[in-house]
Structure 1
């Protein structure tokens, strides 16, 4: 019989994952927006955004692996690389939003720039959640599905044990 310590926790559902994603990703994103603004006072905005995006992506991927999607530990190199791809797309969206802002407004203030930047981050974040959940961390969800213990007693018959089980965890709901 399995003990509670030997069971791996089930991967969280879609709603829980999204709430955790907003908490982790939103927190990192909010901190990043201030860091970009500060760094952009010393170097060009696009370079500041690239540097902060790289650092925040590493941090957010680790948080998402451990907390958001219930992976069993550190993010793998594969997950970091795939996450970097989605972050590159998010970087392009935020840069495009700021470039459009500067085309429309000759000298936007810091508050307007932050509103545009955070709005672009939110839009990119929703797409990034889908990519992370359905592609980057999908393997952990399917592994968690396969390792969820059943409620059957150990003395169940062979016919009963060979019957297919319904997934206990819905990672792609």
Structure 2
């Protein structure tokens, strides 16, 4: 007799996940857009963007696992590594956009820099959402085995049920002679 299982928390649908993604990722993105120019006063812009990208990716991966995609647990190393792959693509998009801006306009205003950075970040964010939802935090389905098929055991072993129901009869395997 098995005990009743507790209901699992419901996973948010695509629109709810996207809204949560915008709140979490967008909020951290806005903070990042303020932090990058401040940090860039002490180092090259691309390096400042890289440092902020690493910190914001770690924070966002935690938020997305717990809140955006409702996994019910903190992300593991696999999710952090996969998330960092999509963050590298976002970093390349924002850095490329800023390099193009500075090539076209050598001294852009802070307002223009912010507009370009946030636009590139928003577009990269849409791609990042899809990667995270479809691959990083997608629910993995375990391959189910039929209930009436017992796992294979080596010949000569006894099952717990064999003590009460009789000897174990091994299932047919191409490696064992047929019982017919």
Counterpart position of 2:72: 72
Cα distance in 2 between the residues matched to 1:106 and 1:79: 39
Question: Offset of 1:2 from its aligned partner?
Answer: 4.3
The 5 A counterparts of 1:23-172 are 23-139=23-139, 142=141
Cα distance in 1 between the residues matched to 2:72 and 2:106: 49
Question: Offset of 1:109 from its aligned partner?
Answer: 1.0
TM-score (norm 2): 0.75
Cα distance in 1 between the residues matched to 2:32 and 2:89: 16
Cα distance in 2 between the residues matched to 1:41 and 1:2: 59
SS of equivalent residue, structure 1 residue 138: coil
Cα distance in 2 between the residues matched to 1:136 and 1:101: 32
Give the number of aligned pairs: 141
Give the 4+ runs in structure 1 shifted more than 6 A.
none
Partner deviation per Cα, 1:54-74 (whole Å, 9 max, x = no partner)? 000000000000000001210
Compare CA radii of gyration and give the structure with the larger one.
2
Q: What is the alpha-carbon root mean square deviation over aligned residues?
A: 1.6
Higher relative contact order (CA 8 A, sep 6+): 1
Give unpaired runs (5+ residues) of structure 2.
Answer: 145-180
SS of equivalent residue, structure 2 residue 70: coil
TM-score (norm 1): 0.78
